[in-house]
Amino acid sequence: MATRPDTLQGSLPLLILTILDRRGPLHGYAITGQIQSLSDALRVEEGSLYPALHRMEEAGWIKARTIVTEHNRRARAYEITSAGRRHLGIEEARWRSITDAVNYVLKHA
Amino acid sequence: MSWLSRLVNVFRSSDVDRVLDEEIAFHIESRAADLVREGLPRDAAEALARRQFGNRLQRREESRDVRLMPWVDALVRDLTLAARSLRHSPMFATVAILTLALGIGVNTAILSIVNSVLLRPLPYSRSAQLMYLNTQLPAYGFSDFWVSVAEYLEFRQFNNSFAEVGAFTTGEANLVMGDRSLRVRSASVDTPLLNALGVQPIQGRLFSRDETGLNSLSGPSLPGGVVLSPAVVVISYELWQSVFGGGPVVGRSVDVDGRRLQIVGIMARGTDLLENHTEIWLPLGFSEEDLRERDNHGLTLIGRLKETVTRASAQSELDALMVSWAERAHITPGSGHPSHVFRPLSAGRDAHILQMTPLMDRILGRANRSIWVLQAAVVLVLLMACANVANLLLGRAETRQHEFALIRALGASRGRLVSRSIVEGLMISLVGGAIGLILARPAIAALLRAFPDSLPRINHVTLDVPVLLWSFVIAAVCGIGIGLVPMLQLHRGETFTLTSGMRGTVRMSRHRLRRSFVIVETAVAVMVVASAALLVRTVDNLTLVDAGFNRSHLATFSITLPPSSFDLLGRVHLYQALLDQIRSKPGVQAATAMTGLPLERTLDASQTEIDNYAATSGPPIPSIDYYQRVMSGYFETMGIPMVRGRGFRSSDAVSDTKVAIVNETLANTYWRGLNPIGQRLRPWIPGNDQNPWFTVIGVARDVKQAGVDQPVGSEIYLLVDQLATGSPTTWVAISPTTMNVVVRATVPWTTLAPMITRVVHDLDSTVPVANLRGMDDVFAESIRRPRLLARLLALFSGLALLLAAIGTYGVLAYSVAERRHEIGVRLALGAKPVRVLRQVMRQGLAPAVTGVGIGLAAVLVLGRLLTSLLFAVQPTDVTTLSMALGSIVGIAALASWFPAWRASRLDPNTILRSE
């Protein structure tokens, strides 16, 4: 049976993949922190982060492993996979083309 | 994540939960820690962190959903829906499930026969390497003949293909234990045979090299040159259990045919030779004299091919051997014992070949065809069952039109509808299959009880794992098939509408589909019913065959007086005493005895000198197929009429002229155009060169010897009473050790049984009464296989007719219900009820007639596959086929009549008002 990625809504996966791609393996809380520190405008609803992470894990874009933090606490860290990088490329291009188009309309309409 | 780990998740959701819990707890803790670092008090920080995360439980559920396989979830939903919808229409569910239970049940039963009889390898190691070897004598019409000792030993020496070749003979023996005596089936085998088969004892040992074969025989010589094999015996596991109670027996002695034999071993469970039902195994030995009699054929061979040798290469070696045999054995072919040798088929009338068949094929014989016919019949029945259930589902799909339309409108994909339908089909077929399996087990047991030994290996039929798996696969295929049928419409691009009715083409296409089901069902029913009718005719014909004697009110049994306990004259005197006593009992009209029981005889094929025979067209050396040695009163008791001359008289017993009676076939074969009365012949007696001449005094009507469906062979009758009065040198070997007694009585054989057992026991308590039964039973047993086939096919055709009736009725009843309005209008406009009746009937019969046509064509094409199973009836027999077709058309008419009658009785007022 082929794995069928469940529909991912919004841009959260794009953000997660970008951050994991640039910053390397991070746990969920760190991902929230990263997004918030980069942009005040984008506020991740924390509860929806984990379902998104698990969906992405299932789609094979990221993989999880258990790490031990500096405070000696077990946590699940997520890491981007090569499939995830391919998907990131596609999503990024799609995002750009849409924003470009919207910008164009905003400017010229 | 792989589908496997997803599936694992379904069953391990607590683990998934734990991981999520940990992850969320970690998130909240980290957030709280950060907030504390920013200056908030601990408890306020934790509360805020939790609030920010949102509803923790709900999130967990959401996350979990992702990880479980959505289709498992959908499946559970579909199963629940299917179960609910079946529960809501119990009638439909019951009919559908029972229909498939019958269809799958009969398939399971027949499949277990196919599996146990045809497919399961023989219970020997690497049994595919085992070959059965026998001989052919084309000029005598013998295609399944034995091998002589010389031929056997030469073959062992000449061939390079076989790792081992052994020989055996089969027979019966008297076993005496204390005051109990019984007849057991025996196999005499040599050590190479045991090695070839690779059989092992579970206790003790088998025979050693010097206990079997050439030079294993020893004195004391009995009169008639009988020599004895070593006094050892191996018993079967089954005999050990039933007679010896499974106790310690190895080393004990047992009385076999009047000799004390030591039990040296117990054979492993289930070990047998072909279908002999062997109970004791004896050592097989040959004397120098056996070796010299090159044309005395009595052995059957089994060989094990070398691992590297294929059947084809062994066959070509065998072919080459036939050509070079005479040269290699230093024999100049000619007539007479010493020059008897194998010659290839190209030698024409002198041909005599050794031939080889895989042991499995030999055991199965022609049973193959019978079993596949049964399998085909049940597959057809299952097809009909599926068509019926599919039809029911189709009807339901129509009434559930609205429901489907709603589901579609609410956004369900077409795939969801199809999968729902398939799940429903699967649920029906798997529940039906399970019930079928439960029914199959007692059905098989009943079949084995009713028809023991009707097919080879049938007593070992079991319902095992491969059969269960196959039945499951069949049920699944049926389920998917019937589930898909209602969806066929969907894929024709039909749209479901939310409007209340369907009009026009939609209905027509549905009708075409349903009608085509009826056509297929009728066609299939024709095939099943026609084959059943042909087999029933076959059994009728076999039952009506004139066997040449009056078989009613005859009881029969056999006794054996072994040479070690009785001398030649003693045997004859005991037979005479036995008959005298039986004849004097109340209810007994006549009694006699003979060596060969009609229908169950094996070929004697003894060379016999015959006066005035010129071997121009018949056999090159005169040979008589059957020697029948009888006691006085034989022809009278059996009711065999004399065609010419006279029967034996009591004066013949003391006459010096040796007299013989021959059958019509013998007279026609050897004395064509001559008067057989007064002709002379000289029967062959082993080990005796000075045999007397016998004069023919009568020609008796032909009596069937080897079975009602077998041609009659030449036969000679000799009077045992007369043989007992001559000088010992002349009757020497003609005094039989085994006799079949027949009793004509006014009472049934069951009433005679206690008297017979008592009389025999009083004469000699070591002699068991064997095979006591009515002559009608002998006939019934001889046609056991066609009877099994006919009964089962009749049963299946009953099912087929029932299913065809239900199918026709269902379609028509549905169509009438649908056309209520139209019929009501027509009746209101003045149409006569009779016309409505006729029209509906026509509508019901049209597809049935088309189906009958197609079925008939199929029967005419495929019928020849049945030819080898039929007797005295052609597969295209007009009477039989018309009866079969008539019954199907009749059933269809009956099934159509009821809905048609109801249609004609509709009350237009009620209908029109209700619209």
The reported pLDDT for the residue numbered B832 is: 87
Q: What is the pLDDT of residues B492-523, one digit of tens each?
A: 444 444 444 444 444 566 678 888 888 999 99
The residue behind tokens 């030819």 is B867
Interface contact flag, A58 B59, Cβ < 8 Å: no
Nearest to B888 by CA among B572, B526, B519, B441: B526
User: Exposed (0-12), middle (13-18) or buried (19+): which is B481, by Cβ within 10 Å?
Assistant: middle
Interface contact flag, B3 A28, Cβ < 8 Å: no
How far apart CA B739 and CA B744 sit, in angstroms, is 16
Contact B517, B390 (CB under 8 A): yes
Interface contact flag, B3 A1, Cβ < 8 Å: yes
Q: What is the pLDDT of residues B582-606, one digit of tens each?
A: 999 999 999 999 999 999 999 988 8
Interface contact flag, A58 B55, Cβ < 8 Å: no
Min distance A101 CA to chain B CA atoms (Å): 32
Nearest to B298 by CA among B145, B184, B154: B145
Q: How confident is the model at residue B827 (pLDDT cuts 50, 70, 90)?
A: confident
Could you say which of B1, B52, B70 has the minimum Cβ distance to residue A46?
B52
Q: Which residues contact B161 (CB under 8 A, 6 or more apart)?
A: B303, B305, B306, B309, B313, B314, B317, B318
In A72-91, the residues whose Cβ lies within 8 Å of chain B are: 73-76
The reported pLDDT for the residue numbered B55 is: 63
CA distances from B786 to B306, B525, B867 (A): 38, 21, 12
Contact B803, B386 (CB under 8 A): no
Nearest to B66 by CA among A49, A81, A76: A49
Average pLDDT value for chain B: 87
The reported pLDDT for the residue numbered B493 is: 42
**Which of B292-296, B694-698, B779-783 has the least mean pLDDT?**
B292-296
Q: Looking at beta carbons, which residues of chain A come within 8 Å of B15?
A: none
Interface contact flag, B1 A3, Cβ < 8 Å: yes
Instruction: Report which of residues B531 and B615 the model is more confident about.
Output: B531
Q: Which amino acid, B678?
A: G
Instruction: Report which of residues B216 and B66 the model is more confident about.
Output: B216
The reported pLDDT for the residue numbered B823 is: 86
- Nearest residue of B to residue A59 by CA position? B1
Average pLDDT (B675-697) is 82
The reported pLDDT for the residue numbered B356 is: 96
Interface contact flag, A76 B66, Cβ < 8 Å: no
The reported pLDDT for the residue numbered B59 is: 56
- Alpha helices by DSSP H, B564-655: 568-583, 634-638
Q: What is the ipTM of this complex?
A: 0.79
Q: What are the respective helix, strand and coil percentages of chain B, to the nearest 5?
A: 55, 15, 30
CA distances from A51 to A46, A83, B62, B168 (A): 10, 19, 6, 78
Torsion of CA B307, B313, B314, B320, to 10 degrees: -150
Q: Looking at beta carbons, which residues of chain A come within 8 Å of B27?
A: 28-29, 32, 46, 50
The reported pLDDT for the residue numbered B732 is: 43
Number of Cβ within a 10 Å radius of residue B836: 20
Q: What is the pLDDT of residues B748-783, one digit of tens each?
A: 999 999 999 999 999 998 999 999 999 999 999 999
The reported pLDDT for the residue numbered B67 is: 52
**Above 60 in pLDDT, residue B66?**
no
The reported pLDDT for the residue numbered B71 is: 66
Instruction: Report which of residues A107 and B353 the model is more confident about.
Output: B353
- Nearest residue of B to residue A2 by CA position? B3
Average pLDDT (B536-548) is 93
List of long-range contacts for A42-49, beta carbons under 8 Å, 24+ apart = A42/A15, A44/A12, A44/A15, A45/B54, A46/B27, A46/B31, A46/B52, A46/B53, A46/B54, A47/B53, A47/B54, A47/B55, A47/B56, A47/B58, A47/B59, A48/A12, A48/B59, A48/B62, A49/A12, A49/A16
How far apart CA B854 and CA B860 sit, in angstroms, is 10
Kindly state the helix (H) or strand (E) to which residue A14 belongs, with its residue range. Answer: helix A12-23
Interface contact flag, B27 A46, Cβ < 8 Å: yes
In A27-66, the residues whose Cβ lies within 8 Å of chain B are: 27-29, 32, 45-48, 50-51, 54-55, 57-58, 60
- Nearest residue of A to residue B19 by CA position? A76
Interface contact flag, A47 B53, Cβ < 8 Å: yes
Q: How long a stretch of residues is chain B?
A: 915
Contact B404, B496 (CB under 8 A): yes
Interface contact flag, B27 A29, Cβ < 8 Å: yes
**Above 80 in pLDDT, residue B219?**
no
The CA-based angle B150-B153-B159, given to 5 degrees, is: 125
Interface contact flag, A47 B55, Cβ < 8 Å: yes
The reported pLDDT for the residue numbered B878 is: 93
Min distance B26 CA to chain A CA atoms (Å): 7
- Nearest residue of B to residue A8 by CA position? B66
Angle of the A12-23 helix axis to the A46-59 helix axis, nearest 10: 70
**Above 60 in pLDDT, residue B229?**
yes
Number of Cβ within a 10 Å radius of residue B292: 12
How far apart CA A91 and CA B591 sit, in angstroms, is 104
Q: What is the pLDDT of residues B456-466, one digit of tens each?
A: 998 888 888 99
Tell whether omega for the bond before B220 is within 30 degrees of 0, i.e. cis: yes
Contact A50, A29 (CB under 8 A): no
Q: What is the pLDDT of residues B177-194, one digit of tens each?
A: 877 889 999 999 999 999
Could you say which of B1, B31, B52 has the minimum Cβ distance to residue A58?
B1
The reported pLDDT for the residue numbered B597 is: 96
Could you say which of A45, A50, A60 has the minimum Cβ distance to residue B24?
A50
CA distances from B495 to B394, B399, B416, B424, B450 (A): 16, 15, 15, 21, 55
Nearest to B526 by CA among B289, B727, B800, B740: B800
Min distance A105 CA to chain B CA atoms (Å): 34
**Above 80 in pLDDT, residue B607?**
yes
Kindly state the helix (H) or strand (E) to which residue B883 belongs, with its residue range. Answer: helix B878-904
Report DSSP letters for A40-71, one per residue: SS----HHHHHHHHHHHHHHTSEEEEEEE-TT
Report DSSP letters for B36-61, one per residue: HHTT--HHHHHHHHHHHH--HHHHHH
